[in-house]
């Protein structure tokens, strides 16, 4: 419970109607969840306007309404707080309600198109191995120390985010590692968060259905770095064309990492195999269980972050050498006699798909084939579909185009969009199998000795979303079932 006066500290109010000496028991964005003696934030979103649900929130027990427009019908028992910038002021109010937990944690955020989950999760695992109790907020899962919580968004809404950070702080966590999505930045979910380190991985074709164009996407990511405090650190990948763009207006201390240029954290790949990476990182050699050049960048970002946090370099690498790949990220499942390898990966963008297929092309033992099974999500950026089809056909020996999460779209239409990007001469090595389970089964039956079967797009997900409903479906479990029951 918190007094409204405490909650309003530093909030830029335009107008207050009603008394401000109330006690508040909870805060809500969704009017359906409102309980007694709570605040309801009437947020104007992309799909609906929270102002339409003010009366419903009051009926359910809200005693304070945050809004940008005062409603026509005023309830004298209710306090109305009018603000001009809802995202900013709501974030301040919510942080105050939860006692500003981000200020008491070492908070590290990771943004970029690809690599967010891997970097955040590896950092969390590394800290826990070093007996530093930590929290994790990721696409795959949320963790508070050893406790696992279900994750529903890459970055939770501002209320859930503060609530989770408070739980981390109260549980004795010193560090919190979180993915920061472009949606979260644009929608103000990380407003008023006190980040100590912000990491930029890369930026490629993704979410243009939301941002409209690539320039808007870049500018959104850049806001994360623009708003860092002067004592914070910005760690950026300068091999990405926009790596230094991200930090142009940042007040933070800038640190860089690279595989190709002079940087604060520099690495060279000495060997890249199905078993992992042998790398030289600054002055040290290390063997890692992760594979591929894209993971070399992830490793370097983790190393740089730990160095910024003042951990000893040799100890960092010793502990990193024991870390396993993140669930659903280049996760290898061999058949029973280790002659065929299946790779489960979340790759659902053109760049991510290119990265994994290029890596496998470099490490496979010819004449071993690369067989790729993938689709594309429905109700999402359609422009990337033909590009992914083109990449898959170019870098694979056999492609099976299938369903992903069609959501409300017709899977056949999504598949047609993918096939449109494949050159006519490459069509002979492309199969269309709409049923994803059957597509995976087909790929495994066609695979021979030493072949590599890539199942891309869903990674860690354990469901398939069709017409607004989620049905149990795990690529990993399907593969295991087929390997050990159907085929053998």
Given 97, 126, 153, the domain boundary residue is 97
Contact predicate 304/281, CB 8 Å: no
For the chain, the domain total comes to 3
What is the spatial distance between Cα 325 and Cα 359, in angstroms, rounded to a whole number?
Answer: 15
Given 66, 97, 128, the domain boundary residue is 97
Among 273, 443, 295, CA closest to 365: 273
The CATH number of residue 168's host domain is 3.40.1190.10
412 and 455 share a domain?
yes
For residue 275, name the pLDDT band (cuts at 50, 70, 90): confident
Instruction: Output the CA angle 158-163-168, nearest 5 degrees.
Output: 125
44 and 161 share a domain?
no
Question: Does residue 396 lie within any of the structural domains?
Answer: yes
Question: Does residue 402 lie within any of the structural domains?
Answer: yes
What is the spatial distance between Cα 357 and Cα 362, in angstroms, rounded to a whole number?
Answer: 9
Q: Is 1 helix (H, G, I), strand (E, B) or coil?
A: coil
Given 263, 285, 320, the domain boundary residue is 320
378 and 273 share a domain?
no
Q: What is the pTM of this model?
A: 0.85
415 contacts: CB under 8 Å, gap ≥ 6:
375, 401, 402, 403, 432, 434
For residue 215, name the pLDDT band (cuts at 50, 70, 90): confident
The CATH number of residue 48's host domain is 3.40.1390.10
The mean pLDDT of the chain is 93
- What pLDDT sits at residue 488? 45
Mean pLDDT for the stretch of residues 166-185: 95
357 and 287 share a domain?
no
Range of the domain at 395: 331-487
Question: Does residue 326 lie within any of the structural domains?
Answer: no
- For the chain, what percent of residues have pLDDT higher than 90? 83
Residues found in the chain? 488
Number of helices (H), then strands (E), belonging to the chain: the values are 15, 26
389-444 pLDDT per residue, tens? 999 999 999 999 999 999 999 999 999 999 999 999 999 999 999 999 999 999 99
178 and 279 share a domain?
yes
360 and 437 share a domain?
yes
Judge whether residue 207 has pLDDT over 60. Answer: no
Question: Does residue 8 lie within any of the structural domains?
Answer: yes
Question: Does residue 19 lie within any of the structural domains?
Answer: yes
- Please give the backbone phi and psi of residue 336, each rounded to the nearest 5 degrees, phi first: -65, -30
Question: Does residue 479 lie within any of the structural domains?
Answer: yes
148 and 229 share a domain?
yes
Residue 403 in tokens: 């369903």
127-153 pLDDT per residue, tens? 999 999 999 999 888 999 999 987 666
Q: Is 12 helix (H, G, I), strand (E, B) or coil?
A: coil
Q: Which residue has the tokens 């992914």?
A: 388
140 and 91 share a domain?
no
Question: Does residue 87 lie within any of the structural domains?
Answer: yes
Among 167, 188, 156, 224, CA closest to 90: 188
Element holding 41 (H helix, E strand): strand 38-41
Question: Does residue 325 lie within any of the structural domains?
Answer: no
DSSP 426: G
The CATH number of residue 397's host domain is 3.90.190.20
80 and 142 share a domain?
no
Mean pLDDT for the stretch of residues 350-375: 93
195 and 344 share a domain?
no
190 and 250 share a domain?
yes
77 and 15 share a domain?
yes
């Amino acid at each position: 419970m918190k007094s409204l006066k405490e909650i309003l500290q530093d909030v830029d109010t335009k107008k207050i109607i009603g008394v401000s000496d109330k006690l508040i028991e909870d805060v809500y964005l969704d009017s359906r969840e409102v309980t007694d003696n709570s605040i309801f934030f009437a947020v104007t979103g992309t799909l609906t306007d929270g102002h339409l649900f003010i009366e419903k929130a009051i009926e359910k027990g809200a005693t304070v309404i945050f809004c940008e427009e005062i409603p026509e019908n005023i309830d004298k028992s209710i306090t109305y707080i009018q603000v001009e910038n809802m995202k900013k002021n709501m974030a301040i109010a919510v942080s105050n309600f939860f006692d500003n937990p981000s200020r008491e944690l070492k908070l590290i955020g990771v943004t970029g198109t690809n690599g967010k989950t891997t970097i955040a999760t590896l950092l969390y695992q590394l800290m826990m191995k070093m007996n530093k109790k930590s929290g994790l907020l990721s696409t795959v899962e949320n963790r508070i120390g050893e406790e696992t919580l279900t994750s529903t968004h890459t970055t939770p809404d501002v209320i859930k985010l503060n609530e989770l950070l408070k739980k981390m702080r109260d549980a004795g966590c010193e560090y919190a590692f979180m993915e920061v999505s472009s949606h979260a930045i644009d929608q103000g979910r990380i407003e008023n968060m006190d980040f100590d380190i912000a990491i930029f991985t890369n930026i490629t074709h993704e979410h243009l259905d939301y941002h409209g164009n690539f320039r808007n996407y870049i500018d959104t990511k850049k806001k994360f770095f623009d708003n860092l405090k002067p004592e914070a650190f910005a760690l950026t990948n300068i091999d990405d064309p926009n790596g230094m763009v991200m930090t142009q207006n940042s007040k933070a201390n800038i640190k860089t990492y690279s595989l190709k240029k002079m940087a604060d954290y520099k690495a060279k790949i000495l060997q890249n195999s199905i078993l992992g990476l042998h790398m030289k990182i600054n002055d040290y050699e290390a063997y890692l269980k992760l594979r591929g050049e894209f993971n070399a960048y992830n490793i370097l970002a983790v190393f740089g972050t730990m160095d910024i946090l003042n951990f000893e370099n040799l100890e960092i690498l010793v502990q990193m050498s024991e870390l396993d790949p993140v669930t659903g990220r280049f996760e290898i499942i061999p058949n029973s006699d280790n002659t065929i390898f299946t790779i489960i990966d979340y790759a659902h963008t053109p760049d991510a798909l290119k990265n994994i297929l290029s890596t496998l092309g470099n490490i496979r033992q010819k004449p071993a084939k690369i067989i790729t099974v993938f689709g594309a999500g429905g109700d999402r950026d359609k422009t990337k579909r033909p590009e992914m089809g083109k990449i898959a056909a170019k870098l694979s020996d056999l492609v099976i185009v299938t369903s992903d999460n069609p959501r409300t779209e017709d899977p056949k239409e999504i598949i047609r969009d993918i096939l449109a990007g494949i050159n006519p001469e490459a069509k002979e090595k492309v199969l269309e199998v709409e049923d994803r389970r059957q597509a995976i089964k087909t790929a495994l039956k066609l695979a021979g000795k030493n072949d590599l079967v890539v199942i891309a797009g869903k990674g860690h997900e354990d469901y398939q979303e069709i017409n607004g409903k989620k049905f149990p479906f795990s690529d990993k479990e399907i593969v295991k079932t087929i390997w050990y029951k159907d085929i053998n």
